[in-house]
C-alpha cells in the first residue's frame, strides 16, 4: 500500500507567500504519512507577469522553486510532484510548463513538459486564456518508475485528450497525476467527470491536485481535488480552498481488475 496526498492551494502572485503555503501543506502531508505528494499546476508562479524571466531563473536545478522542491522532499523523506514550474531551454524565448518529479533524496527524477496548451475562451472574468503566449508545448508523454509503481505525468488541459492517457497506460502507468489550475467554469462542468473517465478507461489510479480559489475576482479556479480508483470510485475529495486529501493505493487492485476485465486485449481500433 502507498499513501498519497493531493495538495490544493489558492496561490497568489507573491512567490514567497506561495512557497510558505506549499511548505505548510507539504508538512501536513508528511505528518499524515504520505509517501507521494502532488502539488497543483503553477503552485509557485501563479499569475506571474514575468513568466519568461521566471523560466530563466528556473532553467537549472539552482532555480529557487527547484531548490525548494528538493529541500522539501529531503526534509520529509517524500516524493513530490511539483505541479508545474516554468523552465527555459535554449532556442525559444518561451519556456516549458515543466512538471518536476523529485524523489525522497531531493533528486529530480523526471521533467515532463505540458503538451496541450490552454488557448481557450472561457465565460469568466478573464475570458481569454492563451498559454502559448508564454509557453511552448512539450512533445513526449512520460512514465517513470518509482518505489510506488509506474507514474504517468500529465497537466491540466492534457486531461481532455484521451489518447494521451491511453499512451500513458500503454507505457505501463499505474498511477497518473494531473496537477491543474482548472478554471471554475470548466472545472464545475468537467473536472471530476474527466478524471474519473481517465481512471476507468485506463484502469489506473488518478490523482488530481487543483487550484481552489473559487472567489478570485479575475481568474477563479475550481478546486475539487480528488483521488480516483481505477473502477471510478472517488477515494478522497475536497471542495474549494486550501488543504490536503489522502488515500491509500493498492496496485494489486489494478491487476485484479485487468484480469477480470482485460480492456487492453479487447481493443479493436
Q: Identify the pLDDT of residue 97.
A: 98
| pLDDT surpasses 80 at 171 | yes
**Using one digit for the tens of pLDDT, what is the confidence trace for 178-214?**
999 999 999 999 999 999 999 999 999 999 999 999 9
**Using one digit for the tens of pLDDT, what is the confidence trace for 78-98?**
999 999 999 998 767 799 999
| pLDDT surpasses 80 at 2 | yes
Of 196, 207, 204, the closest CA to residue 264 belongs to 204
**Using one digit for the tens of pLDDT, what is the confidence trace for 213-246?**
999 998 999 999 999 999 999 999 999 999 999 9
- The reply to whether 74 belongs to the active site is no
Question: Does this model's pTM top 0.75?
Answer: yes
Residue among 10, 48, 99, 156 flagged as catalytic: 156
Which domain CATH number covers 95?
3.60.110.10
- The reply to whether 127 belongs to the active site is no
**Using one digit for the tens of pLDDT, what is the confidence trace for 41-84?**
999 999 888 899 999 999 999 999 999 999 999 999 999 999 99
Residue 239: how many CA atoms within 13 Å on its side-chain side? 2
Q: Identify the pLDDT of residue 220.
A: 96
Angle of helix 192-202 relative to helix 162-170, nearest 10 degrees? 40
Residue among 10, 99, 114, 242 flagged as catalytic: 114
Q: Are strands 96-102 and 79-81 parallel, antiparallel or unpaired?
A: antiparallel
- The reply to whether 56 belongs to the active site is no
What average pLDDT does the chain have? Answer: 96
Tally of domains within the chain: 1
Q: Per-residue pLDDT averaged across 2-8, rounded?
A: 98
Q: Per-residue pLDDT averaged across 139-148, rounded?
A: 97
Domain range enclosing 185: 2-266
Cα–Cα separations (whole angstroms), residue 258 to 117, 133, 265? 32, 42, 10
Amino acid at each position: 500500500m502507498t499513501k498519497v496526498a493531493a495538495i490544493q492551494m489558492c496561490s497568489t502572485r507573491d512567490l514567497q507567500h506561495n512557497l510558505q503555503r506549499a511548505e505548510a501543506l507539504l508538512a501536513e502531508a508528511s505528518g499524515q504519512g504520505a509517501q507521494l505528494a502532488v502539488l497543483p499546476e503553477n503552485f509557485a508562479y501563479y499569475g506571474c507577469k514575468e513568466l519568461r524571466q521566471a523560466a530563466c531563473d528556473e532553467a537549472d536545478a539552482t532555480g529557487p522553486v527547484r531548490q525548494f522542491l528538493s529541500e522539501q522532499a529531503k526534509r520529509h523523506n517524500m516524493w513530490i510532484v511539483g505541479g508545474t514550474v516554468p523552465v527555459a531551454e535554449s532556442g525559444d524565448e518561451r519556456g516549458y510548463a515543466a512538471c518536476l518529479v523529485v524523489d525522497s533524496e531531493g533528486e529530480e527524477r523526471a521533467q515532463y513538459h505540458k503538451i496541450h496548451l490552454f488557448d481557450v475562451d472561457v465565460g469568466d472574468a478573464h475570458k481569454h486564456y492563451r498559454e502559448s503566449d508564454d509557453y511552448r508545448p512539450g512533445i513526449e508523454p512520460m512514465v517513470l518508475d518509482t518505489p510506488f509503481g509506474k507514474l504517468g505525468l500529465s497537466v491540466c488541459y492534457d486531461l481532455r485528450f484521451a489518447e494521451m492517457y491511453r499512451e500513458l497506460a500503454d507505457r505501463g502507468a499505474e498511477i497518473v497525476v494531473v496537477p491543474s489550475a482548472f478554471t471554475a467554469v470548466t472545472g464545475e462542468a468537467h473536472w471530476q467527470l474527466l478524471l474519473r473517465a481517465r481512471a476507468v478507461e485506463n484502469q489506473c489510479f488518478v490523482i488530481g491536485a487543483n487550484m481552489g480559489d473559487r472567489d478570485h475576482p479575475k481568474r477563479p479556479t475550481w478546486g475539487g481535488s480528488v483521488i480516483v480508483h481505477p473502477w471510478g470510485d472517488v477515494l478522497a475529495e475536497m471542495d474549494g480552498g486550501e488543504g490536503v486529501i489522502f488515500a491509500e493505493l493498492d496496485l494489486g487492485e489494478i491487476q485484479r481488475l485487468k484480469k477480470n476485465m482485460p480492456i487492453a486485449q479487447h481493443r479493436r481500433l
